[in-house]
Structure 1
């Protein structure tokens, strides 16, 4: 695998994640319920990367997640809470924590501990 590839529903979701994800992690959008052409393009874009699916906790988000899991059966899932009203409204701290738990983002406390041992 050559890094990570994040898939979200729309541009506002991508903007939210781009606030804290490094530039070397691509973020692609489904633009709603993806058609076959979009799924094929996402498959090509994600080649050799670990796919991470981040969708809303509503019916459309669940449907998109199922479609993506058919194309990317080994994809990792990051979920938001229904009360957050979608990825774009989920607190940044909550999303950062979810990415850290998967090892996609470094734990800042671990980095501080390591650098202080130097």
Structure 2
């Protein structure tokens, strides 16, 4: 982890982190909230991320939406990335779907995930 990596992706769990890490090509810090996050912890996190590009990539379920609302309220500068609701979880979304979501946010991904994209 390098303090100078400008982009940070915040995910819920370690399986999400592993999945995203395998797709992303550029140096990006991936932070797990492990589901819920306390206001104190969130404030500390926001302070440490103030000058960086932050992306929120959480599950399309109740817990993920709750976390997303918390980030929208406490850290409105963060960019929110959305997976298709039919996949429900980041960890279960196909690599090509995640790759296209990440590419849409100008995050460099391994091209083999994009080549699998169906027309």
TM over 0.5: yes
Between the two proteins, the alignment pairs up a number of residues equal to 108
Q: Confirm whether residue 45 of structure 1 aligns to residue 48 of structure 2.
A: yes
SS of 1:103 mapped into structure 2: coil
Matches within 5 A, 1:20-99: 20-22=23-25, 24-99=27-102
SS of 1:31 mapped into structure 2: coil
Q: TM-score, normalised by structure 2?
A: 0.80
Q: Which has the higher helix share?
A: 1
What do the CA deviations read for 1:84-118 (whole angstroms, capped 9, x no partner)?
Answer: 1300011111111111112112695xxxxxxxxxx
CA distance in 2, matches of 1:77, 1:58: 15
SS of 2:50 mapped into structure 1: coil
CA distance in 2, matches of 1:11, 1:38: 18
CA distance in 1, matches of 2:29, 2:52: 10
Structure number, greater radius of gyration: 1
Q: Is the 8 A contact 1:9 1:30 kept in 2?
A: yes
CA distance in 2, matches of 1:58, 1:20: 22
RMSD in angstroms over aligned alpha carbons? Answer: 2.1
Q: TM-score, normalised by structure 1?
A: 0.81
2:108 maps to which residue? 105
Gaps of 5+ in 2: 112-119
